[in-house]
């Protein structure tokens, strides 16, 4: 599995996050020993204990503290792996609308992962239903940039409901609309066999996101790297296409998703640069992490979308490396011809990182893998 391979400057900032969070959100000594237990409880509420979670769970001081000290740095780490790999251009005075922003996670990750944007004036509207999370986010972002950022960040308390596909406030059309780890908290209420319900929620999400965007914009959604989220992302992609918002990444094409029925698109990275303090806290909470996994979709409209001809013969690597017969290794990829089984020797396939765009060499007889039905190709 590939390393996140982050630049030294980004690694340095991520390594300093636990101490910055401790300094910004100090925990009184008598409550410090309860932090691992609170982290474990919040993890339960976000996974198999979702039925016990209230909408205002981040309004509880102990759970907000657990989120800030544990989930915030991990989510920043995940986004800092993704953001530099996105063909995401922003110009001075561009507007970014972040729905379900929590403690300004995306804005903070963008500041860490894109040094080229730190001195460019940008306008952020960060909306979330939790006022304590918004307040904590402003405090953290100010500490992160030492109060010297030219970014103008406006926070708005707003409820988001995918059953209605709308929000109550009027927002300025944005150059970038993002929703990070938001929609899974809504479609988790559906039974796992309710495919039609998931598709309807994805269609509502597409209308909501496109309605907040300008005519020349990006739309970014990031979700957990699990099958349910991958299915949602596939349906969201389909609905955005119908609204003339074609995919920019990870898809190297705008054809129907070849993974919609049997697989899910997700990306996994090792985490060798994880701060030691965060590893210690993970172990204390009984939540060790060896890799970060996510699903995402970057869509666009107008001139933001590269011409299709520039990506027709490219394939996006979407799986870990795995052994094949005859001492070969493979990775699955997605391209304009559908699902592709990329093959090569072990060293080459291990160097071909998840999320990479590669040029496949297809056999003249168009052989297909018997197990998956994927076209077989070598990596150029």
Of residues 66 and 291, the one with the higher pLDDT is 66
Cβ 66 vs Cβ 38: under 8 Å? yes
Using CB atoms within 10 Å of the CB of residue 292, give its burial: 0 to 12 exposed, 13 to 18 middle, 19+ buried.
buried
pLDDT of residue 178: 95
Largest Cα span, the chain: 69
Q: By mean pLDDT, which of 123-137, 228-242, 258-272, 355-369 is the weakest? A: 258-272
Q: By mean pLDDT, which of 256-260, 276-280, 295-299, 301-305 is the weakest? A: 301-305
pLDDT band at 55 (very low <50, low <70, confident <90, very high): low
pLDDT of residue 325: 87
Indicate the SS3 state at residue 193.
Answer: coil
Q: How far apart are CA 278 and CA 110, in angstroms?
A: 21
Q: How far apart are CA 109 and CA 105, in angstroms?
A: 6
Mean pLDDT of the region 24-28: 92
**Which domains are assigned to the chain?**
8-307 (3.40.50.150), 313-379 (2.40.50.1010)
Of residues 302 and 138, the one with the higher pLDDT is 138
Q: How far apart are CA 63 and CA 59, in angstroms?
A: 8
Pairing of strands 267-270, 322-324: unpaired
State phi, psi for 166 to the nearest 5 degrees.
Answer: -150, 170
Show the tokens assigned to 277.
């303090």
Using one digit for the tens of pLDDT, what is the confidence trace for 245-258?
A: 999 999 988 888 87
Cβ 351 vs Cβ 369: under 8 Å? no
Read out DSSP for 110-146?
A: HHHH-GGGTTS--EEEEEES-HHHHHHHHHHHHHHTT
Tell me the C-alpha to C-alpha distance, in Å, between residue 224 and each of 65, 72, 79, 294, 318. 21, 14, 12, 5, 15
Show the tokens assigned to 145.
């940039």
* pLDDT tops 50 at residue 185: yes
pLDDT band at 188 (very low <50, low <70, confident <90, very high): confident
pLDDT of residue 2: 44
Of residues 307 and 207, the one with the higher pLDDT is 207
pLDDT of residue 306: 52
pLDDT band at 50 (very low <50, low <70, confident <90, very high): low
Show the tokens assigned to 226.
């699990």
Mean pLDDT of the region 308-327: 77
Cβ 360 vs Cβ 350: under 8 Å? no
This prediction has a pTM of: 0.91
Token pair 């918004």: residue: 134
Cβ 287 vs Cβ 328: under 8 Å? no
pLDDT of residue 105: 97
Mean pLDDT of the region 165-178: 81
Read out DSSP for 65-86?
A: HHIIIIIHHHHHHHHHHHGGGS
Cβ 206 vs Cβ 236: under 8 Å? yes
Show the tokens assigned to 362.
């297809």
- Describe the crossing of helices 131-144 and 8-24 by its angle, rounded to 10 degrees: 130
pLDDT of residue 290: 75
* pLDDT tops 70 at residue 349: yes
Q: How far apart are CA 50 and CA 273, in angstroms?
A: 31
- For the CA atoms of 327, 331, 335, 338, the dihedral, rounded to the nearest 10 degrees, stands at 80
* pLDDT tops 70 at residue 167: no
Pairing of strands 123-128, 152-157: parallel
């Amino acid at each position: 599995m590939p390393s996140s391979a982050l630049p030294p400057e980004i690694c340095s900032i991520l390594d300093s996050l636990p101490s910055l969070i401790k300094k910004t959100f100090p925990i009184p000594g008598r409550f410090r020993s309860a932090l691992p237990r609170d982290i474990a409880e919040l993890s339960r509420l976000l996974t198999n204990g979702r039925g016990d979670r209230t909408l205002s769970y981040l309004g509880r001081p102990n759970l907000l503290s657990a989120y800030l000290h544990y989930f915030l740095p991990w989510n920043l780490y995940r986004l800092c792996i993704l953001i530099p790999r996105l063909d995401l251009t922003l110009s001075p005075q561009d507007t970014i609308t972040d729905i379900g922003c929590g403690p300004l996670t995306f804005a903070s990750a963008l500041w860490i992962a894109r040094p080229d944007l730190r001195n460019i004036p940008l306008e952020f509207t960060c909306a979330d239903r939790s006022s304590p999370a918004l307040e904590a986010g402003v405090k953290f972002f100010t500490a992160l940039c030492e109060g010297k950022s030219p970014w103008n960040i406006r926070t708005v308390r707003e409820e988001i409901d995918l059953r209605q596909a709308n929000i109550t406030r009027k927002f300025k059309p944005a150059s970038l609309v993002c929703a990070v780890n938001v929609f899974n908290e809504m479609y988790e209420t559906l039974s796992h066999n309710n495919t039609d319900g998931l598709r309807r929620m994805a269609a509502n999400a597409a209308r909501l996101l496109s309605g907040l965007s300008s005519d020349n914009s990006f739309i970014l959604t990031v979700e957990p790297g699990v099958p349910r989220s991958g299915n949602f992302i596939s349906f969201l992609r389909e609905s955005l296409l119908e609204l003339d918002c074609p995919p920019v990444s990870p898809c190297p094409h705008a054809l129907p998703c070849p993974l919609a029925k049997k697989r899910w698109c997700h990306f996994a990275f090792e985490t060798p640069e994880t701060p030691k303090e965060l590893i210690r806290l993970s172990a204390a909470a009984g939540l060790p992490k060896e890799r970060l996994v996510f699903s995402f979709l970057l869509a666009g409209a107008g001139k933001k979308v590269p011409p299709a001809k520039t990506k027709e013969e490219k394939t996006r690597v979407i799986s870990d490396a795995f052994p094949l017969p005859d001492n070969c290794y493979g990775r699955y990829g997605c391209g304009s011809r559908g699902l592709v089984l990329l093959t090569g020797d072990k060293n080459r396939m291990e160097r071909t990182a998840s999320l990479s765009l590669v040029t496949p060499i297809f056999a003249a007889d168009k052989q297909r893998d018997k197990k998956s039905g994927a076209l077989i190709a070598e990596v150029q």
